[in-house]
A = this chain, B = another copy of it.
Amino acid sequence: MAVVPESRVLTFSVFKWSSYSSTYLPENILVDKPNDQSSRWSSESNYPPQFLILKLERPAVVQSITFGKYEKTHVCNLKKFKVFGGMSEENMTELLSSGLKNDYNKETFTLKHKIDEQMFPCRFVKIVPLMSWGPSFNFSIWYIELHGIEDPDVVQPCLNWYSKYREQEAIRLCLKHFRQHNYTEAFESLQKKTRIALEHPMLTHLHDRLVLQGDFDACEELIDKAVRDGLFNQYISQQEYKPRWSQIIPKCNKGTSAQEINRDDMNSDGDDNRPGMRGGHQMVIDVQTETVYLFGGWDGTQDLADFWAYSVQENQWACISRDTEKESGPSARSCHKMCIDSQRRQIYTLGRYLDSSVRNSKSLKSDFYRYDIDANTWTLLSEDTSADGGPKLVFDHQMCMDSEKHMIYTFGGRILTCNGSVEESRTSEPQFSGLYAFHCQAGTWSLLREDSCNAGPEDIQSRIGHCMLFHTRNRCLYVFGGQRSKTYLNDFFSYDVDGDHVEIISDGTKKDSGMVPMTGFTQRATIDPELNEIHVLSGLSKDKDKREENVRNSFWIYDIARNNWSCVYKNDQAVKENPSKALQEEEPCPRFAHQLVYDEMHKVHYLFGGNPGKSCSPKMRLDDFWSLKLCRPSKEYLLRHCRYLIRKYRFEEKAQSEPLSALKYLQNDLSLTVDHTDPDETKEFQLLPSALFKSSSDFIPLGFSDVDQTYAQRTQLFDTLVNFFPDSMTPPKGNLVDLITL
């Protein structure tokens, strides 16, 4: 078994610096004296560029960097910095982008030191401060340590790989360039001498057929086979999701569209046939039967107690109960939480909000109900969960179902209290509920974590308005966001329910503006355990002061394996593409107090109602119902698209010499590859005939005036088609000439 080499302290000297001020010399970073305020490097100003370049005594694989600090917080500490590394000063790659906490503890960061699984060596490490904690202060670094592997037995092979890799990539760029410019002899000599492959043989074959032979049918066959063999899967997985909202107009009882219903049939709650407007309601989805259950809420005036089920297949709401209280179920309520046990077909509800005017020792009991779907019956599990060792009455908490172990987890929420007399109605400190587990079988509660503001590794701060999700495969709860009183929380942690262990994913101190969903906006989250993703829809802030006029929804995906947020869509993208178009594209208006559920089997989200936050109509609530699909191109779509590209080019080539034949080809073969129901595709198709009138020289890209035009254009098509193949198969993406700067 191979011995994994140990990471050791690496020796380095301070090689170059952008500046320094006074006695705060660069060399000071070599000594660690936390109690000496002068034992640091300080830049002369915070004007960019500022940097330190360290030179390692010998080439090494640099695996981590440690920053020492001063014994007290300091305005010059680095809030944001980057680290680069390389074998020469001119050729460095980014190894780390991060920031330090403004405290007195050393911090160590892993540095990028591998490409795929191959370690690469560095001789130089460059630290680039970007922001200090005090905005106009100079940058200071107190102490630096580098750790890695210096052992020549390990490093020399890395150096050899590095040289070979650079040589190989350089030669491949040459080969690509020579082929594009038809320097055939030079291409062949170089290839023969170096024996370096430009690309996968399949693509060489494609090039031969397409560029050299003009055999377009063979190209289509090759592409077809490639798609069927799954070669386009990597491309598909790299595409961004496009969100497609669709407003759901359900059928009404009478079998017609709900919009056609006779007004006389409407009761004071709105439509007989679908839930009325509300916020603070609860929805759960039974994925097996594709049924969405909705209960309770606030309609602007009063709490509701109606209970509905929506069948996706039937596209129809059914009212299970107009008043659950009349059926031994919960009284009217809002800001409660529900969860569903799809396995046992049971739904639970806990908590509610009570106006202070109606709070008393009786009403403040935390009742806990279960609904059995098949029996259509409610069971009171507890009159007061607090008396049973569970949480007190809370609202804005979270609850998750663990069907496998038949457990329920509830966390957070604000505890409702009352003050006996009017004289004593001082505002007391709000209390937040901890993390509890309910053992469904035994009917008992356990307190897992009390609300704690300590910073211990297993401590959890309780909160309201947060998101909590249960990952049925790795059996962890994921919690993020929320607020305590006026403070918005940024942290993100997981709780392993079997190991009773908290793991901090992000403590929320590093502000990666624009890179993670912004706090303070109502977030609704769902989880897809199969894709290992968490989905977050950010809407309107509950806080009037934070409500900006132009706020729109934003949708984020958190990749659990890669610990990486990506934005599916956001405010500015809507503006960017086409302001007027974006507004016309159907999308629910931003809101809070709404509900979002996810069908992880069919990969669809459903959203209902909520509070649009209209200051002119504070009682207005919504009753709209939407579905959301996140779409990526499919294999079928890509195949059709490639055929389209090939035939479009073929048409353009024909157009130059046989216009009549080209026109016929356009109307038949090319037309076949177009989706005539898609407005964009149709529009593009209608513009194609103009090729019959254009001079072919319009198509020559910059830098190819020395090449035969047909050859150059076919090369362009080849480059386009090649993009769908995995990087490991393709020629290099870059171009030799693009490396030349003026």
Contact = CB atoms under 8 A, between A and B. Distances in A.
A88 B705 CA distance: 18
Interface of A: 17, 19-20, 22-23, 25, 44-45, 47-48, 80, 86-88, 90-91, 93, 115, 120, 130-131, 135-136, 159-160, 162-163, 165-167, 169-170, 173-174, 177-178, 183, 185-186, 189-190, 192-194, 513-514, 548-550, 572, 575, 702-703, 705-706, 736-742
20 contacts: A17-B572, A47-B130, A48-B48, A48-B130, A86-B742, A91-B738, A93-B742, A165-B740, A166-B740, A167-B703, A169-B737, A170-B737, A170-B740, A174-B177, A183-B190, A185-B189, A185-B192, A185-B193, A186-B186, A186-B190
Contacts of A549: 23
Contact of A19 (B19, B80, B572, B736): B572
Contacts of A47: 80, 130-131, 513
A19 B514 contact: yes
Contacts of A91: 738, 740-741
- How many copies of this chain? 2
Nearest to A80: B47
A290 B336 CA distance: 99
B703 A550 contact: no
A22 B548 contact: yes
A87 B193 contact: no
A739 B739 contact: yes
Nearest to A185: B189
A178 B186 CA distance: 11
Contacts of A174: 174, 177, 736
Contacts of A703: 163, 166-167
A120 B702 CA distance: 14
Contacts of A86: 742
A193 B707 CA distance: 12
Contact of A702 (B93, B159, B173, B194): B159
A90 B738 contact: yes
From A48, A131, A549, A737, name the one whose CB has the most chain B CB atoms within 10 angstroms: A737
A417 B44 CA distance: 41
Q: Residue among A19, A25, A193 with the most chain B CB within 10 A?
A: A193
B513 A45 contact: yes
A740 B173 CA distance: 10
Contact of A736 (B17, B162, B170, B737): B170
A160 B19 contact: no
A548 B193 CA distance: 63
A136 to B, nearest CB: 3
Given A93-B742, A737-B166, A741-B91, A186 B177 contact: no
A87 B742 CA distance: 11
A468 to B, nearest CB: 29
A405 to B, nearest CB: 44
Nearest to A14: B576
A177 B185 contact: no
A572 B41 CA distance: 13
A86 B93 CA distance: 23
Residue among A48, A88, A120 with the highest chain B CB neighbour number at 10 A: A48
